[in-house]
Amino acid sequence: MTNKNLVLVSGANGHLGNNLVRLLIKKGFDVRASVRNNRNYNCFKELNCEVVHADITDKASFVRALNGVETFYAVGAAFKLWAKDPQQEIYEVNMQGTRNTIEAAAEAGVKRIIYVSSIAALDYNNLPIKESNGYNSDRRDAYYNSKNDGERLAFKLAAELGVELVSVMPGAMIGSEAFLPLNVSYSVLRLILTKQIPVDTGITLNWVDVKDVAEGCYLAAEKGKTGERYILTNEKCMSITDTTKLAQKLYPELKLSIPAAVPKFVLYAIAGLMQFIAKLKGNPPLITIKDIAMFSGLQQDFDISKARMELGFNPKSSEQAVKEALAYLMQHKELL
């Protein structure tokens, strides 16, 4: 038997997961928070929730964690754009994690899954990008591939196993409660504030406040239609350079410089050098040749009317989300 008020959030010590846990507690749910790494509980301090250990690569751990749960927020995934072995460390982990958690949910008798996909799983060929565009055809990135193939697998398994599943697709999440290590999106703002982006990469991001995404996940559980996907981000993207200009205006005391515009071949040369240095040191590079090839000049404007109308999703603007996220980082210098 499931408990209608009991929900599980996986990846609950991540940026979205932890903010979703906080929201669901406020909404009056009994929240069970699952984490893969049970060494760090700082993000659960003073939170009234049950913390359990479960790993998306270990199906049995999720069968146990999902016992009695009615709604499962499947947030946990490998969220990184670089790895020494991206196929194994990103793609296979996320694909196996999708299969394991959905099969575990069915075995545990879970009624409804809110599957956190990504705007990475959308077709960018026609603007504005909408859910009905289909899937991303660019197969150069292991994380993007895992979100495309993972979401399709999630829908297929849920239909076969008789579990209700709704997919939500967040953009670049920033703001609110955050803990080290910062996620990929939030790290871009950290790089801006610490003057580590010297050149204009031509990369845009669709910034969205993580609290708005958490609210969108909750709304998807309450109102989302089974088998449907919902974009949870803003209509308009911002370039990293425009984001830097905003930070420069808000914090003149930092004396931030606007990234210099350089030809594309120079961007490739810089990215290649960063990759070489990172390989020698064994660290992730700041930017890669693939990043320039895939994202420089790519527009990320979305039609979010479906989420607005069907869920009541109403995010603050990208600019406001950036302002609040920058203020949070400035107030929490330990994150910089």
Instruction: State the pLDDT at residue 283.
Output: 84
Domain count, the chain: 1
Residue 125 in any domain: the answer is: yes
Instruction: State the pLDDT at residue 38.
Output: 67
Integer Cα distance of 11 and 170 in angstroms: 15
Residue 165 in any domain: the answer is: yes
Integer Cα distance of 180 and 183 in angstroms: 8
CA 92 to chain centre: 18
* Cβ–Cβ < 8 Å for 142, 315: no
Residue 262 in any domain: the answer is: no
Q: What is the pLDDT along the chain (336 residues), one digit of tens a residue?
A: 777 899 999 999 999 999 999 999 999 999 999 999 766 788 999 899 999 999 999 999 999 999 999 999 999 998 887 888 989 999 999 999 999 999 999 999 999 999 999 999 999 999 999 999 999 999 999 999 999 999 999 999 999 999 999 999 999 999 999 998 899 899 999 999 999 998 999 999 999 999 999 999 999 999 999 999 999 999 999 999 999 999 999 999 999 999 999 999 999 999 999 999 988 888 889 899 999 999 999 999 999 999 999 999 999 999 999 999 999 999 999 999
Question: HEC states along the chain?
Answer: CCEEEEEEECCCCCHHHHHHHHHHHHCCCEEEEEECCCCCCHHHCCCCCEEEECCCCCHHHHHHHCCCEEEEEECCCCCCCCCCCHHHHHHHHHHHHHHHHHHHHHHHCCCEEEEECCHHHCCCCCCCECHHHCCCCCCCCHHHHHHHHHHHHHHHHHHHHCCEEEEEEECEEECCCCCCCCCHHHHHHHHHHCCCCCEECCEEECEEEHHHHHHHHHHHHHHCCCCCEEEECCCCCEEHHHHHHHHHHHCHHHCCCCCEECCHHHHHHHHHHHHHHHHHHCCCCCCCHHHHHHHECCCCCECCHHHHHHHCCCCCCHHHHHHHHHHHHHHCHHHC
Residue 153 in any domain: the answer is: yes
Residue 284 in any domain: the answer is: no
* Cβ–Cβ < 8 Å for 176, 219: no
CATH at 118: 3.40.50.720
Range of the domain at 310: 3-177+208-233+301-316
Residue 185 in any domain: the answer is: no
Residue carrying structure tokens 């997919």: 167
Instruction: State the pLDDT at residue 200.
Output: 96
Question: Residue 136: which of 127, 149, 75 has the closest Cα?
Answer: 149
Residue 256 in any domain: the answer is: no
Residue 79 in any domain: the answer is: yes
